[in-house]
């Protein structure tokens, strides 16, 4: 059902909890900057005492139901060998229904769409968080309004420019800074609650229900902004593999949840006393002398929130590449000790370009908030749907229990989605367009790879049969080992055919290696290599990697030592076939998608880099493939 967490000392748990506060809760921790403000923006929800209490009650119970119950209690249990996130959930759900091919195919499409929408969320989060923090300048000095967008762009530019250096050096400060930020949230809120403790009545769910039933149309509009208080909740599940369940739960219940509730209720208490402060209730809570330090701290918290999401975008991209949904991209490792610290230049600068476009086009956190909710609610709804298939088909729980557990959360998620869907024309289209483009690229690549594999399979010669005929009149053997990389196990690599045709020799030792990526996060060294003797010093080797393993072929081949295969690094050559895709009208995809796939294939990074092959021992031989 779930993977048990390893036993850790109290000190280790405390350290992980502190780190989790910085990485996991950076996004949701900055929501008070804009969430409550957006509820009452543009006069869509009248500012009255009853409405303030009703909204606060909705915020409290949204945090309780969506984050505490759904994510912290239920979804954290659905780990894939200790890993979380939408791709891990997708792999888990698809494996659970592998004997139902039609359902599995639909779930894969749904999960990939959710992954694509995540990239739309990845654009909005840094933009709205940084803008929300810098907008404090308008309260501290109203004349500085014109500097909000330029200052935000400077902060974001510095953030993305620093990505290539990695986060190892500054990452250790994320936890303490976010803890300081959350404590400040709690203190600011508590001060105003003490001034007006009447606001605590909103803890009673009757205020939320009363607001919904007495003003259904206004409540429906309000829900589109209330959901902003849980933006970033997906990070709870996505970062499961980094920290484990216990630290994430301790951080939430011990600090994050109380701090957020205190701050939201503090904003509400202040608005009950001073309704005129609705323009920016968060910064209006602070005394004038504390505004500039608070803006600095808020900006640091926003940068941390953005960093967590940028890092997640790199991880998701790498996992999607290894599952075959994106072409190979250059992945740089920014730490010699932490394998998870990576930098993907293309993704980094593509995100940056989209974020600059968002900041310049929308110009304020309030305008961007309309675009924010739609991406968040789509991913939350998809996660709930995936959870049903996991607990029903993987955990084998009774159907009524599964429907009850996920049906309630689905109703909540879908209600929030519907409330945000009406804001598509107000800005919700922006993350949908980004997600749609990424979804098109992912499905085109997956379909193109399938068509390409089918074409290669049709033209392939069975390897055992080919070797048998080859050794009837054997070519000259030369000293050394040849490693022929082939996507299809059991097929004769084109690189071997070209090598025999042009060089007319065969190495003394030949390994025919296929690299397989599986829908599990990790595959251990005990299952890394599968080897089968083909006779005459030729072997068929399968290398197995999970979607979070590093596909290092030379390192994996070292595991063959002692199994009759000894490799000398200086006498081992790696042969690859560099395929050129030729779009045709023969079927498959429509021509424009085939051209798109051909362009993606042509611009993908080299397989040698992706497989960690030594650059001075690679031989590439070209071939053309019509699809």
pTM, to two decimals: 0.86
Residues 463-491, mean pLDDT to the nearest whole number: 90
What's residue 258's pLDDT? 97
pLDDT of 337:
53
Higher pLDDT, residue 180 or 605: 180
Q: Are 159 and 306 in contact (CB under 8 A)?
A: yes
- pLDDT in the model for residue 1: 46
Which part of the chain has CATH 1.20.1740?
Answer: 10-427
Tokens, residue 468: 């048998």
For the chain, the distance separating the N- and C-terminal CA atoms, rounded to the nearest angstrom, is: 42
Give the per-residue pLDDT at 24: 86
Q: Which of 571, 582, 553, 575 is nearest to 621 (CA)?
A: 575
pLDDT score of 626 more than 80? no
Lowest mean pLDDT among 80-84, 161-165, 310-314, 520-524: 80-84
Residue 194 has pLDDT above 90, yes or no: yes
- At 2 the pLDDT is 46
What rounded mean pLDDT belongs to the chain?
Answer: 87
- pLDDT at residue 50 greater than cutoff 70: yes
What is the average per-residue pLDDT within 483-496? 88
CA–CA dist 482, 500 (Å, integer):
12
Are 380 and 413 a contacting pair, CB within 8 Å? yes
> What's residue 295's pLDDT?
93
Task: State yes or no: pLDDT of 333 exceeds 80.
Answer: no
DSSP string covering 400-430, please?
Answer: HHHHHHHHHHHHHHHHHHHHHHTTGGGTTHH
Task: For residue 496, give both structure tokens.
Answer: 């071997």
The CATH T-level fold of domain 10-427 is: Amino acid/polyamine transporter I (1.20.1740)
pLDDT at site 495:
87
Burial-class residue 586 by CB neighbours within 10 Å (0-12, 13-18, 19+): exposed
pLDDT exceeds 80 at position 49: yes
Q: Of all residues in the chain, what percent carry a pLDDT higher than 90?
A: 41
Per the rule left: phi > 0, alpha: psi between -120 and 50, beta: everything else, 475 is beta
Tens digits of residue pLDDT in 112-131 = 999 899 888 888 888 989 99
Angle (nearest 5°) at CA 458 between 620 and 590: 90
What is the rounded CA–CA span in Å between residue 608 and residue 623?
Answer: 16
Residue 232 has pLDDT above 90, yes or no: no
pLDDT at 166 over 60: yes
CA 317 to chain centre: 7
pLDDT at 549: 85
pLDDT tens-digit map of 258-307? 999 999 999 999 999 999 888 889 999 999 999 999 999 999 999 988 88
Q: Given pLDDT bands bounded at 50, 70 and 90, which one contains residue 167?
A: low
Convert the pLDDT of each residue in 353-410 to its tens digit.
999 999 999 888 888 887 788 888 998 999 999 999 989 988 888 999 999 989 999 9
Contact 534, 463 (CB under 8 A): yes
């Amino acid at each position: 059902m779930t993977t048990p967490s390893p036993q850790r000392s109290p000190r280790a748990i405390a350290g992980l909890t502190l780190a989790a506060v910085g990485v996991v809760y950076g996004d949701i921790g900055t929501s008070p900057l804009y969430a409550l403000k957006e509820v009452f923006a543009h006069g869509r929800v009248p500012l009255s005492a009853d409405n303030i209490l009703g909204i606060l009650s909705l915020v409290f119970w949204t945090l309780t139901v969506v984050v505490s119950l759904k994510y912290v209690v239920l979804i954290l249990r659905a780990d894939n060998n200790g890993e979380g996130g939408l791709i891990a959930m997708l792999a888990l759900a698809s494996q659970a229904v592998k004997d139902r091919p039609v359902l599995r195919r639909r779930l894969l499409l749904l999960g990939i769409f959710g992954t694509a929408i995540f990239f739309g969320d990845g654009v909005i989060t840094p933009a709205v968080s940084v803008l929300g923090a810098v907008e404090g300048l308008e309260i501290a000095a109203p004349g500085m309004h014109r500097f909000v967008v330029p200052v935000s762009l400077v902060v974001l530019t510095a953030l993305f420019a620093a990505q290539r250096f990695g986060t190892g050096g500054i990452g250790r400060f994320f936890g303490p800074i976010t803890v300081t930020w959350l404590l400040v949230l709690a203190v600011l809120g508590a001060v105003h609650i003490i001034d007006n403790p009447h606001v605590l009545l909103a803890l009673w769910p009757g205020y939320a229900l009363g607001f919904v039933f007495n003003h259904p149309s206004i409540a429906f509009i309000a829900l589109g902004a209330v959901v902003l208080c849980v933006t970033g909740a997906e990070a709870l599940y996505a970062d499961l593999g980094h920290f484990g369940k216990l630290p994430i739960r301790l951080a939430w219940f011990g600090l994050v949840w109380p701090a957020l509730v205190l701050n939201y209720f503090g904003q509400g208490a202040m608005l009950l006393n001073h309704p005129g402060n609705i323009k920016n209730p968060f910064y209006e809570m602070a005394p004038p002398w504390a505004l500039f330090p608070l803006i600095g701290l808020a900006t640091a918290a926003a940068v941390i929130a953005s960093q967590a999401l940028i890092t997640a975008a790199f991880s998701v991209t790498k996992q999607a590449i290894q599952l075959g949904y994106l072409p190979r991209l250059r992945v740089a490792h920014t730490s010699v000790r932490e394998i998870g610290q990576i930098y993907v230049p293309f993704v980094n600068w593509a995100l940056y370009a989209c974020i600059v476009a968002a900041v310049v086009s929308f110009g304020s956190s309030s305008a961007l908030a309309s675009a924010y909710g739609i991406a968040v609610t789509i991913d939350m709804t998809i996660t709930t749907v995936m959870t049903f298939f996991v607990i029903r088909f993987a955990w084998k729980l009774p159907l009524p229990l599964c429907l009850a557990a996920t049906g309630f959360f689905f109703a909540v998620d879908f209600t929030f989605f519907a409330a945000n869907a009406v804001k598509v024309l107000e800005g919700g289209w922006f993350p949908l367009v980004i997600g749609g483009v990424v979804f098109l690229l992912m499905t085109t690549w997956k379909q193109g790879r399938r068509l390409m594999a089918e074409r290669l399979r049709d033209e392939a010669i069975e390897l055992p049969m080919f070797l048998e005929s080859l050794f009837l009149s054997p070519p000259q053997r030369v000293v050394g080992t040849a490693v022929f990389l082939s996507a299809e196990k059991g097929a004769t690599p084109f690189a071997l055919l070209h090598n025999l045709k042009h060089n007319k020799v065969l190495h003394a030792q030949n390994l025919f290696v296929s690299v397989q990526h599986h829908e599990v996060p990790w595959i251990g060294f005990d299952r890394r290599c599968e080897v089968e003797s083909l006779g005459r010093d030729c072997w068929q080797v399968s290398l197995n990697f999970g979607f979070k393993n590093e596909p290092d072929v030379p390192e994996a081949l070292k595991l063959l030592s002692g199994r009759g295969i000894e490799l000398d690094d200086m006498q081992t050559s790696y042969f690859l076939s560099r395929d050129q895709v030729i779009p045709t009208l023969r079927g498959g995809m429509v021509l424009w998608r085939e051209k798109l796939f051909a362009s993606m294939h042509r611009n993908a990074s080299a397989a040698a880099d992706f497989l960690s092959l030594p650059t001075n021992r690679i031989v590439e031989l070209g071939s053309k493939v019509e699809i």
